Homo-oligomer: A and B are copies of this chain.
């Protein structure tokens, strides 16, 4: 199947070069001529919001997403309210940085009640939508791999994420498809088609075998078993033509020189995505 012939849609998700500061990542993208960047809130905080905005603008980069809002379920009403407040700050930051989407990693249950936690996620998104809309920020629900259900997200499938998103307009809430999280799903292609018009982001990496680590075991595109090009074609058939983020949690990649990682990332993107 057809591969890309340029990197116009390629975005560096900052986590892939986690040892770099925001300024270093922006400069790396300029050297590598990568047009998009996805920012992480901790890196933005480190540099300062105004300075982060200046760095990105001066580098001529577009911001594909801000990572991340979410983490909604909590044991008490007070703690849930504190998390809503933090998400309002994330929305403000996404607006200021002109990010295409604020990615939501929805959070685990505070106890054994997974259905209750899923309800808390829905309630929180309902509460945030007016605030986000006023600031022109779209919320992107990212389903996480089921192996993170107990520690990071009770939203584990694209079907779940789309069901929540469908309660809102596509300008308010959509979904983010990350191949690492969804590649195994027997419903994947059906659910991508269902999410048509609601896909706000597409993240690539690979699932390596054997998997070295649950959190830091993601691979560079082409090093694993994910049908990257097939999923990309499906996402495009569902109307998504936006930036494609390379988002890799992997200590071995973090330990390599950033410029080398970016060079490999570009080559693998053209070859495999």
Contacts and interface: CB of A to CB of B under 8 A. Distances in A.
A33 interface: no
B147 A186 contact: no
Interface in A136-192: 145-147, 149-151, 156-157, 159-160, 183-186
A227 interface: yes
B156 A114 contact: no
B225 A184 contact: no
Contacts of A211: 147, 150-151, 214
A147 B145 contact: yes
B114 A210 contact: no
- Complex copy number for this chain: 2
A150 B186 contact: no
A147 B145 CA distance: 8
A72 interface: no
Contacts of A210: 151
Contacts of A114: 183-184, 225, 227
Contact of A186 (B109, B160, B186, B224): B160
Given A114-B227, A227-B112, A209 B145 contact: no
B150 A207 contact: yes
Contacts of A207: 150
A99 B262 CA distance: 55
B118 A186 contact: yes
A80 to B, nearest CB: 19
A226 B151 contact: no
B146 A159 contact: no
Interface of A: 108-109, 111-114, 118, 145-147, 149-151, 156-157, 159-160, 183-186, 207, 209-211, 214, 224-227
Given A112-B226, A146-B147, A160-B186, 10 more contacts: A145-B146, A147-B211, A149-B183, A150-B207, A150-B211, A150-B224, A151-B209, A151-B210, A156-B184, A214-B214
Q: Which 3 A-B residue pairings sit nearest by Cβ, starting from the closest?
A: A149-B184, A147-B147, A146-B184
28 contacts: A108-B209, A111-B225, A112-B225, A112-B226, A112-B227, A114-B183, A114-B184, A114-B225, A114-B227, A118-B186, A145-B146, A145-B147, A146-B147, A146-B185, A147-B147, A147-B211, A149-B183, A150-B184, A150-B207, A150-B209, A150-B224, A150-B225, A151-B210, A151-B211, A156-B184, A159-B186, A160-B186, A214-B214
